[in-house]
Structure 1
Amino acid sequence: MLSWLALSVACAAVAAQQIPIIQSTPASAELPAQNDKPLVNSSALQDHISGDRLMERAKKMFEIAKLGEDEYNHPTRVIGSLGHLGTLNYIYSTILELGEYYSISNQSFPAVSGNIFESRLVLGDEVPKSAAPMGLTPATKDKEPVHGKLVLVKNEGCVSTDYPAEVTGNIAFIQRGTCPFGTKSELAGRAGALAAVVYNYEKGGVQGTLGTPSEYHVATFGLSGEEAEPIIKKLENKEYVDSIAYIDAEVKSILTVNIVAQTTQGDPDNCVMLGAHSDSVAEGPGINDDGSGTMSLLEVATQLTKYSVKNCVRFAWWAGEEEGLLGSDYYVASLSKEENQKIRLFMDYDMMASPNFAYQVYNATNAANPVGSEELRNLYVDWYEEQGLNYTFIPFDGRSDYDGFIRNGIPGGGIATGAEGVKTKEEEAMFGGSAGDWYDPCYHQLCDGVGNVNETAWVVNTKLIAHSVATYAASLKDFPKRSQFSVSSTYTDTVKYHGHKLRI
């Protein structure tokens, strides 16, 4: 068998030809016998989880991220990079080595990737500190600064009539709210704006994404409500505000791959599904985000082969999560109604080892989500309590790959250890660490390397992943039956994130 490095190089050549990276491996017609293996149980599967094994995987993942150095000048596993291709082949080869216990399928799909190289916004005689280019924004014309007056757009800029004629040849100033940022940018472009600035209705900044590219999108910044307030007053008083916008960026289409491994045994009409994302951001190697989840799934999948299962278990590694949940969205959208109904629940495992961790459980309730989500939430809660560990609930707000499943009627939930959120004094007392600091001080940065994972938290959460898999692989007797695509408007109407960036 080729080494992961050789596989990475081979796949890079294949990817350059824009064809699927790996051919699908169908399930064997003669399924391997598993009746000589004991039925999986939680405590036994948990006992196989080892911090040493996880850390060895982390070291290998960092070496894989180094494959991206030639193109990005630092380790990265962003989609389209050699580091991500190496990650895909590490996942694939690891599962392949487990023999016929799993069937492997590889779902190629077109994805968009955006890079921002330089940006600057000047409003009047100020350079706003909070100004940030939107994800997937195009560059300004010819990648040069554009100059014009700032024009206040009516209402929230969600219909063409909100854009006055004077927007043409100038820079649109638009309030955040009601419709996606991509809609605002497109309408500004259609109105002839050179660029757009979306300002917050709250004091904080706007870290958003334009989402699916449009030929009418214009270079778009987000701005905090605090810095926008004095500018709005000037514009409402008919004062002239000169503005300069500059973004050097690229938005390109690439081909990438989701990898899905399913047990060849177990009821195929009742599948227990779990996932992590295989990619990092361009800025760093992503060993915690989400190398930790990727490797936890690999370790649980490896140890599960020692046991038989009653319900099929389906592991997924999504590509393009950092670009806006691209892989998981594509997967769920491609399911037929029949295949959708076979997935009894989806469990999301993103960032399992943050250094300043808290044990976080998504607060998924049946009132706001497909029925079964609350039962999954309670499974995590019960396990933490049985271990004598503290936990905290976090919003189920669309920030990770569960979003597409919830929107398509599949019960879901998950756990995490925190990203750029700030640990409170109460959480410091509950989990240790440092109040006032991010849960992951290296979130989306170059320093997200091997030294950025907390081994204690990682082992604890990988054991909890093993518990979730073992529980539902052995029996779904007490888990609610699937309902017919019922999704509460509470979720769809209130969730403002799609991945780690705001979309509205």
Structure 2
Amino acid sequence: MVLAKLTVALALLGEASAIQLPLSLPKIPHIPNAVTERKLVDSASLQERIDPDNLLARAKALFEVAGASVDEYNHPTRVIGSEGHRGTLDYIYETIHGLGDYYHISRQDFPAVTGNVYESRLVLAHDVPKSAQPMGLTPPTKDRQPVYGSLGLVSNFGCAESDFPDLTNKIAFISRGTCPFGTKSELAGKAGAVAAVVYNNEEGPLSGTLGTPTPDHVATFGISDKDAAPYLKQLRHGENVDGIAYMDAVVNTITTTNIIAQTTEGDSENCVMLGAHSDSVEAGPGINDDGSGTLSLLEVATQLTNYHVNNCVRFAWWAGEEEGLLGSDYYVSVLPADENRKVRLFMDYDMMAGPNFAYQIYNATNAANPVGSEELRDLYIDFYESNGLNYMFIPFDGRSDYDAFIKNGIPGGGIATGAEGIKSKEEEEMFGGQAGVAYDPCYHQLCDDVSNLNLTAWEWSTKLISHSVATYALSFDGFPERTEVEGKTLLGAPTKYHGHLLHM
């Protein structure tokens, strides 16, 4: 019945052809938001409406949605292009549509590049480097068969054609640094290489993405500095190092969708905007990453309908974040300059419920980012301090969907509870949990399911999201005015991250 009503409603709106519904949706939990008489929004009142039981009910429904992908992927996932992600989009849309005329809701389709590595193997000098990992969006080896060749050492950082010798039928061996991994792979292909290995020039393993595909990309692996060291020594002494590379992978272009919901009331010239990403990685259902942010926004959007707002509030659910911030990049790239100026700030909410959490604030300063970013950072600080909670700063380095906004003049910031980073002893004392263990031990894994959520962290994170929305929906008094934006002027130096993977 829910599905039938939704289909009819969409048809009346002339949008039925724009949404592809799965055969069935799980029963969507009823979240109380009975509106009696609306009053002007205030932070304390909105925060009181945040109930962790509502969040958990939504998480269970989302995990059931992820299960729609089992037939294709053999496990639940919400990766773009999957039934699980299409179901996620339907779930978000139906939830917002069910709130009546409080929001204008739209779907923004865009092309997205997605890839999958089914099997890979790298052998160097009869050894299998333990750290070897396929780069994201890597193509397969020729005919999806093993290729054989000696290692060809590339000069400098492999960022110019002159760095590459003739690599015909060889495997390029390239240092990380200076330019994107995609550039290194492309130049290796142009030099005749049958595959490429990028080795870390910093301590630790190397996991990255090639980014936008080109015809010259070759199958590309990343390995650690430690694993690379003996081969580098041999090559620099003129010794031969044989290798075998195998990659069974696909790279496809699909169409996926952002969902945008904006309040029908409030000053449309002064919008507070916030977002979370609706997709997961292929490896798992992504109930913390970023199901938690997705559902926090849905819950705040639901409870906000009890209030009037002075400034418009715009919620966004981005697709393709895990493939390299594709949805948020696209949204900002097509946003006209006059519409850009209406967005007073953008707030990013990615991973709100880490099981071994720390309360993390992006260290967004006005010196390095659009003016207003620091004022948003200070709002988060004040919230944690006023509630007697500890917090820590994390780099504002392009790892999530704020990136396109700050590069195009829009102040930004956000909070998180931690991903693959390891909690320190000091942080254990500050936040509890366990030192020496990742903030989210199930980050980008199959076990990122409903059991991978800390409800205490999730409740406080969602209350802070409510506080940020209520504060700016009420007033921008004291918040810096937007500076003029002429076209699409990129700010600052390129970031080494573009999404969760390194790209340079």
**TM-score of the pair, normalised by structure 2:** 0.93
Would the aligned equivalents of 2:96 and 2:103 in 1 still touch at CA under 8 Å? yes
| Local SS of the residue matching 2:492 | helix
Change (3 A) 1:497 1:333: same
Q: Give the structure 1 partner of residue 32 of structure 2.
A: none
Gaps of 5+ in 1: 12-18, 24-33
Q: Give the structure 2 partner of residue 200 of structure 1.
A: 200
Matches of 1:228 and 1:177, distance apart in 2: 15
- Following superposition, the deviation at residue 477 of structure 1 comes to 1.1
- Answer yes or no: is 1:294 the counterpart of 2:294: yes
Cα offsets for 1:401-446 (capped at 9, x unmatched): 0011111111000000000000000000011000000000111111
Q: Give the structure 1 partner of residue 482 of structure 2.
A: 482
Q: Give the structure 1 partner of residue 30 of structure 2.
A: none
Q: Give the structure 1 partner of residue 19 of structure 2.
A: 21
Matches of 2:67 and 2:53, distance apart in 1: 22
Q: How do 1:489-500 and structure 2 match up within 5 A?
A: 492-493=492-493, 495-500=495-500
Matches of 2:300 and 2:357, distance apart in 1: 21
Q: Give the structure 2 partner of residue 58 of structure 1.
A: 59
Q: How do 1:71-86 and structure 2 match up within 5 A?
A: 71-86=72-87
Matches of 1:5 and 1:189, distance apart in 2: 53
Q: Give the structure 1 partner of residue 133 of structure 2.
A: 132
Q: Give the structure 2 partner of residue 470 of structure 1.
A: 470
Would the aligned equivalents of 2:20 and 2:86 in 1 still touch at CA under 8 Å? no
Q: Give the structure 1 partner of residue 271 of structure 2.
A: 271
- Following superposition, the deviation at residue 494 of structure 1 comes to 5.8
Query: Which residue type is aligned with residue 499 of structure 1?
Result: G
- Following superposition, the deviation at residue 485 of structure 1 comes to 4.0
Q: Give the structure 2 partner of residue 460 of structure 1.
A: 460
Would the aligned equivalents of 1:112 and 1:254 in 2 still touch at CA under 8 Å? yes
Q: Give the structure 1 partner of residue 151 of structure 2.
A: 150
Query: Which residue type is aligned with residue 408 of structure 2?
Result: N
Matches of 1:35 and 1:485, distance apart in 2: 41
- Following superposition, the deviation at residue 395 of structure 1 comes to 0.5
Q: Give the structure 2 partner of residue 426 of structure 1.
A: 426
Would the aligned equivalents of 1:80 and 1:254 in 2 still touch at CA under 8 Å? yes
| Local SS of the residue matching 1:493 | coil
Q: Give the structure 2 partner of residue 395 of structure 1.
A: 395
Q: How do 1:95-174 and structure 2 match up within 5 A?
A: 95-165=96-166, 167-174=167-174
Query: Which residue type is aligned with residue 78 of structure 2?
Result: R
| Local SS of the residue matching 1:323 | coil
Matches of 1:333 and 1:436, distance apart in 2: 40
Gaps of 5+ in 2: 12-16, 22-34
| Local SS of the residue matching 1:418 | coil
Matches of 2:138 and 2:427, distance apart in 1: 37
Q: Give the structure 1 partner of residue 445 of structure 2.
A: 445
Dislocated runs of 4+, deviation >6 Å:
4-7
- Following superposition, the deviation at residue 53 of structure 1 comes to 0.4
Q: Give the structure 2 partner of residue 404 of structure 1.
A: 404
Would the aligned equivalents of 1:285 and 1:446 in 2 still touch at CA under 8 Å? yes
Cα offsets for 1:248-268 (capped at 9, x unmatched): 111111110000000000011
Cα offsets for 1:7-30 (capped at 9, x unmatched): 7xx99xxxxxxx84379xxxxxxx
Would the aligned equivalents of 1:148 and 1:170 in 2 still touch at CA under 8 Å? yes
- Following superposition, the deviation at residue 386 of structure 1 comes to 0.3
Q: Give the structure 2 partner of residue 31 of structure 1.
A: none
Cα offsets for 1:142-163 (capped at 9, x unmatched): 1111000100011111111111
Matches of 2:490 and 2:199, distance apart in 1: 25
- Following superposition, the deviation at residue 206 of structure 1 comes to 1.0
Change (3 A) 1:344 1:490: closer
- Following superposition, the deviation at residue 36 of structure 1 comes to 5.8
Q: Give the structure 2 partner of residue 14 of structure 1.
A: none
Matches of 2:494 and 2:454, distance apart in 1: 33
| Local SS of the residue matching 1:56 | helix
Query: Which residue type is aligned with residue 306 of structure 2?
Result: K
| Local SS of the residue matching 2:228 | helix
Matches of 2:425 and 2:5, distance apart in 1: 45
Q: Give the structure 2 partner of residue 46 of structure 1.
A: 47
Cα offsets for 1:59-92 (capped at 9, x unmatched): 1001000001010011111100100011000000
- Following superposition, the deviation at residue 169 of structure 1 comes to 1.2
Change (3 A) 1:256 1:490: closer
Matches of 1:285 and 1:22, distance apart in 2: 20
- Following superposition, the deviation at residue 451 of structure 1 comes to 0.6
Matches of 1:35 and 1:484, distance apart in 2: 41
| Local SS of the residue matching 1:271 | strand
- Following superposition, the deviation at residue 95 of structure 1 comes to 0.3
Matches of 1:231 and 1:36, distance apart in 2: 72
Would the aligned equivalents of 1:370 and 1:486 in 2 still touch at CA under 8 Å? no
Matches of 1:152 and 1:220, distance apart in 2: 15
The percent identity for this pair of structures is: 67
Matches of 2:120 and 2:369, distance apart in 1: 39
Cα offsets for 1:341-368 (capped at 9, x unmatched): 1100000000000000000000000000
- Following superposition, the deviation at residue 493 of structure 1 comes to 2.1
Matches of 1:283 and 1:3, distance apart in 2: 28
- Answer yes or no: is 1:360 the counterpart of 2:381: no
Matches of 2:92 and 2:36, distance apart in 1: 27
Would the aligned equivalents of 1:119 and 1:133 in 2 still touch at CA under 8 Å? yes
- Following superposition, the deviation at residue 464 of structure 1 comes to 0.3
Would the aligned equivalents of 1:409 and 1:486 in 2 still touch at CA under 8 Å? no
- Answer yes or no: is 1:259 the counterpart of 2:259: yes
Matches of 2:470 and 2:490, distance apart in 1: 31
Q: Give the structure 2 partner of residue 30 of structure 1.
A: none
Matches of 1:284 and 1:41, distance apart in 2: 37
Matches of 2:241 and 2:187, distance apart in 1: 21
Query: Which residue type is aligned with residue 98 of structure 2?
Result: E
Q: How do 1:218-367 and structure 2 match up within 5 A?
A: 218-367=218-367
- Following superposition, the deviation at residue 230 of structure 1 comes to 1.7
| Local SS of the residue matching 2:220 | strand
- Following superposition, the deviation at residue 228 of structure 1 comes to 1.1
Matches of 2:18 and 2:417, distance apart in 1: 34
Matches of 1:91 and 1:329, distance apart in 2: 20
**TM-score of the pair, normalised by structure 1:** 0.93
Would the aligned equivalents of 1:35 and 1:308 in 2 still touch at CA under 8 Å? no
Matches of 2:50 and 2:358, distance apart in 1: 20
